[in-house]
Structure formats: structure tokens, C-alpha cells
Amino acid sequence: MRSDGILGSRDSQGSKAGASSRSKWLKRRERWLVVLGVILHAVYMLSIFDIYFKSPIVHGVDPVTPRFAAPARRLVLLVSDGLRADKFYEPDAEGNYRAPFLRNIIKTQGRWGVSHARPPTESRPGHVSLIAGFYEDPSAVTKGWKANPVEFDSVFNRSRHTISYGSPDIVPIFCGGLQHSTWNTYPHEFEDFATDASFLDMWSLDQFQSLLNRSREDSKLKEIVLQDHLVIFLHLLGCDSNGHAHRPYSDIYLNNVKVVDHVAESVYNLVEDYFRDNRTAYIFTADHGMSDKGSHGDGHPSNTDTPLVAWGAGVKYPKPISSSNHTDCGFRFVDDHVHDAPTPAEWGLHGIERVDVNQADIAPLMSTLLGQPCPVNSVGSLPLDYINMTKADEVEAVLANTKEILNQFLRKSYIKQSHSFYFKPFKPLTHYSSLLDKIEGLIMAKDYEAAMNLSQNLRSLALQGLHYFQTYDWLMLMTVITLGYIGWMIYLILHVLQSYTSLPGIIFGMEQAVQKNKLGKVMLVYTYLGVCEYQFLKALWKHLSGRRMNYVFKLLATTAFSIFILEFLVNSFTERKLYTWCFLIAGAAASFYLLKSIPWRPGIPIFVCLACWFLSPFTLMPAEIPDNNQLVIVSGAIIIGIGIAARWLDLHAGGSKHWLSICNHELQSLNSSVLFYLQAILIGFSSLMVYLSTSHRTEKRELLLTHQLINWFIAGFSMVLPLFSANSILSRLTSIFLGFAPSFLLLSIGYEAVFYAALALVLMAWILFENTILNLNIVNKSSASIENVDNHLILGDDNRSLQLSDLRIPLIFMVLFNVAFFGTGNFASIASFEISSVYRFITVFSPFLMAALLIFKLFIPFMLVICAFSAVTKLNRVPRLGCYFLVIVLSDVMTIHFFFLVKNTGSWMEIGNSISHFGIVSAQVVFVLLLFALTNTFTKDIRCRSAVPSTRKAM
């Protein structure tokens, strides 16, 4: 017989049987609990995306046949992928304009302006907006470029025939399943970021020229080319590829603008020489722009502002600016630009009227020029300032545009009404039919001005109605999701209290029950675990009511402090500089506490302070990481230096009783030294490869295959080595840090390489802090207290029960885990994914492999944090899964807050960022669990020698 803390006296055999049965039941229960959590969070994430990222496409909408003559027989659409408006319109350093042909068109033949794209400014959504006239569900970007998530109508569908050449990522989207089309694409291997990609534009031009030449001898082909309602689409990828690889201010990118202008001129000459009927309309534009860092995706003007030039049949001629045609009407475009924004002086186009449009407006413009129905899901508004038609035809064109949008509204209204128990109609359009009749009457009376105004007003109401039904279920879903999260959190807290704390034994008096009957021990465990949550809550409330006020105050203070930390983390998503203040204050506070508390090793407080302060500046760095390969190379030396210091500490400090928990001389061997030297050599070699690989790109040379293979080998081989390191905490964590360093260095382009080292120092400071607290408990507490700490409801695997003070572990983990999100840029911003990070492994465009490498780079800091977290739980002998559940509860508190911060008004960039924040935190239940599984390979066999002279080891 022996004492077992709060469980009273028991014998060894009975305790083993009870613990074994309880452990098996608990594992089964938690397995289902994890599955439930994953499913619940996945469903709730899908629900929020069903509101804000719901596809605007509605099937079953009838096209509206226009009642006017087509101004043009054919249309040429030239899309220069990734071309910024400013780089297109502004002159070069010598004062010469880069697009002389199109500039001459602007001055003498056509109309010009800026087309405003809507985030996400990616190639697929941009082309869908241009050609189909609607802003596609942004999540379609993640579904791949090669297939349509849903089928949609487009200008190409309505054409009699479409001829298209260009990128294999864009052309098949619109022409892959189109029977009346002639198209071709170049191989993916052509998209090599290590070369000048302007030849891709020339490839599209050569293909089109070859088709025209063949048609002169092929009668069937010539018959196709001579049809009316013909669309010719050339996708020009050069600027996009060169912008990614060399930046939009590089000579290669700027020269590509000249190449694009040459393509436009050549196509114009070829078409005019071939048809000779002046019945061709031309539109030149871009799908998105390019940031200075060579990326795109967000709502920055450099990404949303694209050039637009239209000329030819049915297009108005240039118009001088006057006070009557240049007014600020207060209208805001989809990228939140104000209407009539001032034109930069360096563009040299002040005297010619500029007509800006939303990107989706180009689709109805093309349909009107061809005299065909608008795409049935188009939400673009016909820009009248571009079309050259009679007043009667203008009204008919606007009315056709209005009816198409109205048909979508009516279809969505019908669908919502048929699926709703209580339907609330959009009241401003309850009498839409009378408005249509009034417009028809005004047209019959030839009152075109009034008919135009009424048609435009009706179109505006129809667009508002579409938005109304797009967010129709918003309030209901908000309520359901909020209640669901709260219920899940309550259940999870109850589970932690029942399974990982000593409260059940205290509340239900399990000591007495165990003493009564040895044979009933197993049944007692099942009975205890089966107690319903309602009874447990009643007992818990009674227990808390009987405690002293200081205990309740401590509980409330801990809860308030936890909520403060979580609110701090919520605000850090928009204000990264908060982390700077956090680590400055935390470093000073922790070192002051340790200096006052510990009588030994005064170097620990200084190290903790310096480590926190070293990490603090990184969240002040720009989210778009500047290139600095010298800093990456220096970081390799810093990482090796940290490894040497950790190795020295492991070898020389393990003899002290205060370091027993994290160092272990008994586990050191000759192999450990060899492994350390090998890892250091690999880090030095990876720094050398950073220099060699970058120098080839700088010299505009292709990355050698040998270099790529060496980089892949270093990255893969180095990550396996930590598995062979010693099992003490410091040895294994040092080896993990060194093992992932080569991969991170090869994927780094700037300051994030130093951040990797700084984060590792803070993680080491955390472990030293926890080790110090553990030793303080030994020194400061009585032997009875030590026994109570050591033997609180043993949970198996030498784990004790959780206490209120242990909440600091998941809280510190949350802070470090989130700073890993934003220390290397802005994880919540699409544009912060710097594609040049992968150029040392691959240069040929491969979106999925490149994305995998970028995600792996982002995972590495998280894996360090998870490994440190696992080490801390073993050091404190607390159940890791119990702490994981607390992490999920804490992250769900943040999730609910982010859920209420989601915006459905304002710019799309603000809406997208608010939803991405919600998605990131909501996904942590899966994200953290996945990282636990990945890192468990490295941390499962870590051995930690207890610093507490326990009377027993495990139950």
C-alpha cells in the first residue's frame, strides 16, 4: 500500500488496471474528439466561404438578344499578362515612350483609360472578369488554372468562332471545351523564369500569322476566318514571367512592353491587310499588374491598375478634355479607386479624355461591338464612352446589358424563394416589369435621354439586388456558427477538466470510493467518465462556490490575462509591430523575474532578455521581403555559431543538477560529435550554394541542373540527420534546428534567414525559463508540495495532471506560433508569397511544386515551435494532448473574434484579408495537429531526466 495523492491509498495491481482501462477509454474518446473538431472546423470554414466566396454564377439564365446592328464583324483581344498601367503609359529614362504604336492609336484613332481589376489579382480571375464579365469566386484560384470549377458563359461562347493562342494555363480555360474554336498553346517548359520570356509573346504572334498564311491556301480555314462574330484572342505572358523573375522596373520587363507594342502593331497590320473592310474592333488590356517585388494578388494599385486601349470598328475617336466631360461623380471602382483620379503628368496624356472602367465592363463592351448577347453571368456595365453608335442603338445596348443583369437577379430570387421557409424579397425591384414597360414606351417615343437614365438606374438596382441575394443567408449563418463555436469550446473545456485535471477526484470524492472496493476500480473509472456534463457542471459550481475568494480571484485573473493575450494576438494580424513591443516587454519582465527568483546561473536571465530583444525587430520589417543574399549567407554563419554554443552548453552544463532535465551526459557519444560536424558542414555548403545559385540568376544565366540536384540533396539529407542525434532535450532540439537550416537558407532571399536563428534563440530561452521554474519549485516548495506537484492524478507516460499555472504553456505557444506566421512576411497577404524563394530548386514554371516549396518554407518555423512545445510538455511532465486541446480552445476564442471582424463592405482587399484571418485561425485545429504528427517523428523519443526526486515513476 502507498499514498497516491488525491486518489488516496491503492495497491499497485489495482491502480494499473484502473489506469490502463481509463487510458484506453480516453484514447478512443479523444480520437473521436479530434475527428469531431476537424469536421466541425472544416464545416464552419466552408460555411463562411459559402457566404463571402460563394460563386456568383447562377445557371438557367436566358441570354438577351440585342436589337441593334453589330458595329464590327470581328474583334481582336490582346491581353498582356502582368502589365502595369504606369509602366505602359510612362516614358523611359530618355523620355521615349515604350509603346509608340498604341500611343499613336490613343491620340488618333481610339479611346484609352485604366481598367481597374478586383482582388485577387491573379491570372485566372482577371481573364474570367475580362472575357466572362463577372468577378469569379476568389477560391477558384486555389482550384487550379487548368479546369473550370463551374461552367460559365463567356464572350468566346457567344462568338461564331474563336481563334486563340498563348499560355497553357489560360487559353484552355476558355477554349478547351469550346467546339467552335481554333487554339494552341506552348509547352509549360517554355515558362522558364531564368530567361527573357518576351519570346512567348512572339510565339503567339507567329502562330496567328501562320494561321492567316495557311488560310490563303485552305478553303475551310478561310471560311472560318471570314465569318462574322469572330473573336481573335492572343494571350501575351511575357510581362508576367519577366516581372516575377526580374521585377517590373528591370530592363527585361520594360523592354517587354516594347515587344507587346510590336505585337499589337503587327496584329493590326496583319488583320487590316487580310480583311481590308475596316470592320475589326481591337481591345488591348491586361489581366492584372505587378508589384515592385515581382508579385501580384492583393489590391495595391500596382496590381489593380491595368492599361486599356480600344480602337477600330464601333469605337469612338479621341476626345479632348473639357469641363463638361470631366466631372467627379463620386463613383468608386471595384479596387476602391475614386472616379476621375488624376492622370500622372509624366504620362503626357492630359489633353485626351481618359475613360476608366471596371475590368468586368470590358466583356459587355466586346459583346456590344460584336452585336451579340452579353455573357449570361456578366455584371459589367457597358462603358458608353467607348462605343460609337447612334442614340437609339446606345439605348438598346444599355437596355440589353440591363436586362441580362436583371435576368440573373430574377433567377437568384426564384432560387432563394424556392429554398426558403420565410422569403424576404428585394423590395426596390418588386415592380421591375412596370419599369421595363416604361423604358420601352420612352424608346417608342424616341425620348432616348430619359430611357437611358431609367435603364441605367434599373441596372444599378439589379446589381444591388444581386448583392442582396449573394449575402441573403449571412445573419443566419453568423448565428449558427457562433453558437456552434461556443458549444464546442464548452465541451472541450469540460473534457480537459474531466480528463487532465485533479478536479473530478476532488469533486466526486473518488478517494473514498476507491478505498471501498478493489474489484470495482475498473467500473468506477467508466462510471466516472460517463458522468454527464450537466452533473459535472453542477458539482464544479458547488466546488468553486465553496472555495476562498483568493482562489476565485486567481481564476478570474488568469482568465482575464489569457483573454488579453488573445486579443493582443487578434490585433497583431493587422499591426505586426505589436510583436516588437511584446518581446521587448516580455524579455525585460522575464529576466527581472528570474534575477529576483534564482540564486544560481545569473546568465540565464540575461540570455532570455537578449533573445527576446533580438527577435523583436523582425515584425517591423516590410512584409514583402527585400532581396539580400549577402544576409542569407551571413545567416548561415550565425546559425552555425548558435549550434556551437548549444553544443558547448550540452557538453559542459549537464553535470549541474539544475541542467539535468535538458542535458544528459549519459546520452552523448562519439557519433553525436560526428553528426554535429556534418550538420555544420551542410549549413556552410548550403550558404555556398545560395551564393552560386544567385550569381547565375544575376548574370541572366540558367540555373545549372547540377546546382539544382545539389540543393535538393542538401535539403533532403539534412532533414533526416536529427533522427540520429542524442535524445536529451538540448541535443535533439539543436540537431533539429541545424537539420532544417539548410532547407530554410536555400529558400530564403533576405532577412527571414536571420529570423530563423532569432526564433530558435527565443525557443531556447523558453525552455530555459521553464527549466528554471521547475527547479525553483524544487527549491522553494516543501517535500509535501513537491510530492503533490509530482503525483497529481498520474495520466500515464509519467505525466501529471494539469494545473491552473500550466495555462502559461499553451499561451506562450500561441504567441510564438503566431509570430512564426508573421516574422517572415505577411502570411495573410497573397502578395507576400515571394516566388523567387524557390528559384534555387526550380526555375521552370510549375505552380504546384512552387507552391509546395513555399508552403514548406513557411512550415519550418512552425515545426521549430512545435518541437519546443513538445519538449516543454515533457520537461513539465504535462500531457501534450491536453495542452493541445487548450491551444484549440484559445485559438477558437480568436476565431470567434475574427468571425465578427469579417467585412462584407469596403474594398475587396479588406474583405479578403478579414476572411483570410478568420480562415488562418480557424484552421489551426488541423494545422497544429498536422504539425504535431510531422514533428512527432523527431520528438517522440526525447528523454527528460526528472529533477524531482519522485517517490514513484508512473502508474
Q: For the residues of 782-820, what is the DSSP string, one character each?
A: -HHHHHHHHHSS--STT-----GGGGHHHHHHHHHHHHH
Domain ranges of the chain: 33-49+481-501+547-780+797-940, 74-324+360-376
* CA distances (Å), origin 558, targets 213, 553, 709, 792, 800: 79, 8, 52, 21, 21
Rounded to an integer, what is the distance from CA 226 to the centroid of its chain? Answer: 47
Q: How far apart are CA 887 and CA 807, in angstroms?
A: 9
Task: Please give the average per-residue pLDDT across 1-22, as a whole number.
Answer: 44
Provide the phi-psi class of 330: left if phi over 0, else alpha when psi is between -120 and 50, else beta.
left
Query: Is residue 463 within 8 Å of residue 769, measured between CB atoms?
Result: no
Q: Is pLDDT above 60 for 37?
A: yes
- Residue 800 near residue 500 (C-beta atoms within 8 A): no
Spatial separation of the C-alpha atoms in residues 298 and 304, rounded to whole Å:
8
Judge whether residue 787 has pLDDT over 90.
Answer: no
pLDDT at residue 784 is higher than 70: no
Q: How many angstroms separate the CA atoms of 295 and 375, rounded? A: 30
Taking only the tens place, the pLDDT of each residue in 155-196 is: 999 999 999 999 999 999 899 889 999 999 999 889 887 789
Helix (H, G, I), strand (E, B) or coil at 196: coil
pLDDT tier at 909, thresholds 50, 70, 90: low
Per-residue pLDDT of 843-876, as tens digits, reads 777 777 887 888 888 889 999 999 999 999 988 8
Rounded-to-integer distance, Cα 699 and Cα 742, Å? 24
Helices 549-572 and 808-822 cross at an angle (nearest 10°) of 10
Mean pLDDT of 287-308: 91
What does the pLDDT look like over 138-153, one tens digit per residue?
Answer: 555 445 444 555 578 9
- Least confident window among 28-32, 412-416, 585-589: 28-32
CA dist 290 and 82 (Å) reads 6
625 — pLDDT class (breaks 50, 70, 90): confident
CATH code linked to domain 74-324+360-376 = 3.40.720.10
* 396-400, 476-480, 522-526, 689-693: the lowest-pLDDT one: 522-526
Closest CA relative to residue 377, chosen from 792, 61, 37, 669: 61
pLDDT per position as a tens digit, 634-660:
999 999 999 999 888 888 775 566 677
CA distance 817 to 865: 6
Query: Is-contact 154 367, C-beta < 8 A?
Result: no
By the 8 A CB rule, do 249 and 292 touch?
yes
- Residue type for position 106: I
Close Cβ partners of 427 (under 8 Å, ≥ 6 residues apart): none
Closest alpha carbon to 909 in 301, 49, 145: 301
Give the percent of the chain with pLDDT over 70: 83
Average pLDDT over residues 51-74: 87
- Looking at residue 785, what is its pLDDT? 42
Q: Over 70: is that where the pLDDT of 600 sits? A: no
What confidence score (pLDDT) does residue 921 get? 87
C-alpha pair distances (Å), 668 with each of 400, 682, 742, 850: 81, 21, 24, 39
Asked if residue 662 lies in contact with residue 943, where contact means CB atoms within 8 angstroms, the answer is: no
Residue that wins the pLDDT comparison between 123 and 119: 123
Higher-pLDDT residue of 663, 257: 257
Nearest-angstrom CA–CA distance, 765 and 607 = 7
Range of weakest confidence among 273-282, 405-414, 436-445, 915-924:
915-924
- For residue 310, list its beta bridge partners: 111, 283
Q: Please give the average per-residue pLDDT across 436-462, as a whole number.
A: 96
The pLDDT of residue 796 is above 70: no
pLDDT tens digits for 440-449? 999 999 999 9
* pLDDT value at 469 more than 80: yes
Stretch 559-570: mean pLDDT? 93
Across 107-116, 494-503, 612-621, 830-839, least confident range: 830-839
Predicted TM-score (pTM) of this structure: 0.69
Residue with more model confidence, 454 or 620: 454
- Distance (Å, whole) CA 268 – CA 800: 79
Q: For residue 900, what pLDDT is reported?
A: 84
pLDDT class of 482 with cuts at 50, 70, 90: confident
- Residue 599 CA to residue 612 CA, distance in Å, equals 22
**Residue 75 pLDDT > 90:** yes
Residue at 793: amino acid letter: L
Per-residue DSSP letter, 502 = S
Nearest CA-CA partner of 75 in 276, 224, 281: 281
Residue 70 burial class via C-beta count within 10 angstroms: exposed 0-12, middle 13-18, buried 19 and up: buried
Q: What percent of the chain has pLDDT over 90?
A: 48
Residue written as grid cell 549549413? 683
SS3 165: strand
Q: For residues 298 and 830, is the Cβ–Cβ distance under 8 A?
A: yes
Question: Would the pLDDT of 405 be above 90?
Answer: yes
If DSSP codes are grouped into helix, strand and coil, which group holds residue 318?
Answer: coil
Whether 777 shows a pLDDT value over 80: the answer reads no
- If one compares 218 and 697, the residue with the highest pLDDT of the two is 218
Residue 738: per-residue pLDDT: 95
Report which of residues 252 and 512 the model is more confident about: 252
For the stretch 806-817, pLDDT in tens is 899 999 999 999
Residue 85 has pLDDT above 90, yes or no: yes
CA 629 to CA 914: how far, in whole Å? 33
Average pLDDT, the chain: 83
Phi and psi torsions of 463, nearest 5°: -65, -40
Q: Which pLDDT does position 750 carry in this prediction?
A: 82
Is pLDDT at 267 greater than 90 in this prediction? yes
